[in-house]
Each structure stands twice: as C-alpha cells, then as structure tokens.
C-alpha cells in the first residue's frame, strides 16, 4: 500500500511539474508574441534577422543590408496595402452581406457583434492594434507564432 501511495505521489509531482512548465512556457510565448505585435516594424525585422543569422551566420554588413531591404519592403507593402485596402474592404463587406442573407433574423445581431472586428470572428477576443505584417524571407517555420 505504501508503495502505491509513493508511486501516486511521484506521478502527482511529475504532473504538477508538467502543468507548471506548460503554463510558464505558454505565458512566455504569449508575452513574446504580444510584444512583437505591439512593437514597431523593427521588432519583426529583429526576429527575421536573428533567425537568418542563426541559420546562415550573417556578418554585420549583411545584417545591415538585410535590415534595409526589410525596411524598404515594409514601406512598399504599406503603400500597396493603402492602394488595395478599399477594394478589399468592399469584398469583405459583400461577403458579410451574403453571410447575413443566410442567417436567421435572431442570428444577425450576434453575427454583427462577432464581426465588429475580424479577429473576433476567429477567437472571440478583442484584438490588439493591427500590426504591420512580417515577411519571412527564408521560409522558416520554426519559431513561428502559435497557430501558424
């Protein structure tokens, strides 16, 4: 009987350790992702350059050139986004209208609340301020944000 209690106690200690480790890791990555999303484009550039440096062993000159390329790309993407945003918004509004036509009257109000923000439709939470999208020039999926 003492042996069974000892084994159960040991398993309980391991389970608690795993749980605490999971929670700590989860919070760490959540904070890391939040800081990136709330940060300036430079935060994304830092992540990309660090990843490339780790995989490719960049020298200082290469890092500076890649940062400049990323900065220019960010500016070009912002310009393209401004140009195409009205058309994209029109397409999204059309899709929203089509979805509403499928819903029952009681569902339309709930749908309006869900779609007050694009992120709410996915996870039901209020989104952070919209970040500038990051590019991943080396196509590395390691270290990607959760759910990607």
The total number of structural domains in the chain stands at 2
Q: Please check whether residues 32 and 46 belong to one and the same domain.
A: no
Task: Tell me how far the alpha carbon of residue 40 is from its chain's centroid.
Answer: 15
Instruction: Determine the Cα–Cα distance for residues 87 and 131; give it in Å rounded to an integer.
Output: 20
Judge contact between 66 and 52, C-beta under 8 A.
Answer: yes
Q: Please check whether residues 45 and 95 belong to one and the same domain.
A: yes
Instruction: Determine the Cα–Cα distance for residues 125 and 119; give it in Å rounded to an integer.
Output: 7
The pLDDT profile of the chain, 148 residues, written as one tens digit per residue, is 788 888 998 999 999 999 999 998 888 877 777 766 665 677 778 888 999 999 999 999 999 999 999 989 888 888 888 888 888 888 989 999 999 899 898 898 888 888 876 554 444 444 445 555 544 445 444 444 444 4
Judge contact between 56 and 50, C-beta under 8 A.
Answer: no
pTM of the model: 0.43
Q: Please check whether residues 12 and 34 belong to one and the same domain.
A: yes
Residue identified by tokens 């999208």 is: 133
Q: Please check whether residues 68 and 81 belong to one and the same domain.
A: yes
Alpha-carbon torsion, ordered 86, 89, 95, 99, to 10 deg? -150
Range of the domain at 10: 1-38
Q: Please check whether residues 83 and 16 belong to one and the same domain.
A: no
For the packed helices 60-102 and 105-114, what is the interaxial angle rounded to 10 degrees? 170
Nearest C-alpha neighbor of 131 from the set 37, 46, 33, 32: 37
Q: Please check whether residues 131 and 66 belong to one and the same domain.
A: yes
Q: Please check whether residues 26 and 45 belong to one and the same domain.
A: no
Q: Please check whether residues 32 and 73 belong to one and the same domain.
A: no
Q: Please check whether residues 106 and 120 belong to one and the same domain.
A: yes
Ranges of H-type helices in the chain = 2-38, 41-56, 60-102, 105-114, 118-123
Judge contact between 29 and 146, C-beta under 8 A.
Answer: yes
Q: Please check whether residues 11 and 59 belong to one and the same domain.
A: no
76 is written with which tokens?
């070009």
38 is written with which tokens?
């709330």
């Amino acid at each position: 009987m003492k042996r069974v209690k000892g084994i159960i106690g040991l398993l309980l200690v391991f389970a608690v350790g795993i749980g605490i480790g999971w929670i700590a890791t989860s919070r760490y990555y959540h904070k890391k992702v939040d800081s990136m999303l709330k940060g300036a484009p430079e935060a994304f550039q830092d992540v990309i350059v660090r990843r490339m440096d780790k995989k490719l062993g960049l020298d200082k000159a290469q890092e500076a050139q890649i940062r400049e390329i990323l900065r220019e790309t960010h500016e070009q993407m912002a310009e393209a986004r401004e140009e195409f945003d009205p058309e994209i918004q029109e397409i999204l509004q059309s899709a929203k209208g089509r979805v509403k036509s499928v819903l029952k009257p009681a569902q339309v109000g709930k749908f309006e609340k869900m779609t007050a923000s694009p992120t709410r439709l996915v996870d039901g939470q209020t989104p952070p301020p919209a970040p500038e999208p990051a590019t991943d020039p080396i196509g590395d999926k390691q270290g990607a944000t959760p759910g990607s």
